[in-house]
Amino acid sequence: MQIIKSIQNRIYEIRGERVILDFDLAALYEVGTKVLNQAVKRNIKRFPKDFMFRLTPDEWETMRSQIVTTSENEKSMWSQTVTTFQASRRKDNTPYAFTEQGVAMLSGILNSDKAIAMNIAIMRAFVEVRRVLIQENDLREQLKQIKERMGEHDVQLNQIYDAMENLLDEKAAQKKWDERERIGFKIKK
């Protein structure tokens, strides 16, 4: 379970897609980023744009602060990740982002036992992230429905209060003070 949490911390949302960056994948597979990218380039036909894309320099600059923060929270991989992205990245050399399908495709080109085991763990992490997001959406929908019902109930309760007030006002207006039956002791004359 710890490895899945570690992988989930490496899943980012970029361009509306949940992705893992190339250097994170390389660290997980225990290969160099350059080795991973060379394997991808040799099999580039397997990686259409919806499986893998390169970050723009602006996207990369935005991601850098998130990566350092994530890495600091995860001390075991901290030095590897920070070293990897500081040493091997120039401004014109931005990382590749792999979608879930791209990670699945990597299993076909990286064939070591470690890569296969890690790929299975990564797929499980993506599934877990998807499950959590679905649960979140279900909870949001339920809260929305509860708010709508409460709003309807407020309107209905206000209508009931208004109707009761009107009835009381009508009853009070119908009886005149002098015509009301007296309450209390009656003195005989």
Q: What is the pLDDT of residue 157?
A: 85
Residue 119: inside a domain, yes or no? yes
- Total domains in the fold of the chain: 1
pLDDT score at 95: 92
Asked if the structure places residue 147 within a domain, the reply is: no
> Angle formed by the axes of helices 22-29 and 75-87, to 10°?
130
Burial of 8 from C-beta contacts in 10 A (0-12 / 13-18 / 19+) = middle
Kindly state whether residue 177 falls inside one of the protein's structural domains: no
Q: Residue-wise pLDDT tens for the chain (189 aa)?
A: 677 677 777 888 888 888 889 898 888 888 888 988 888 898 888 888 988 899 889 888 887 776 665 545 444 444 444 444 444 445 568 999 998 888 888 877 776 777 777 777 777 777 887 787 778 777 888 888 888 888 888 888 888 888 888 887 777 666 666 676 777 777 776
Residue 9 lies in a domain: yes
Q: Which domain holds residue 22?
A: 2-136
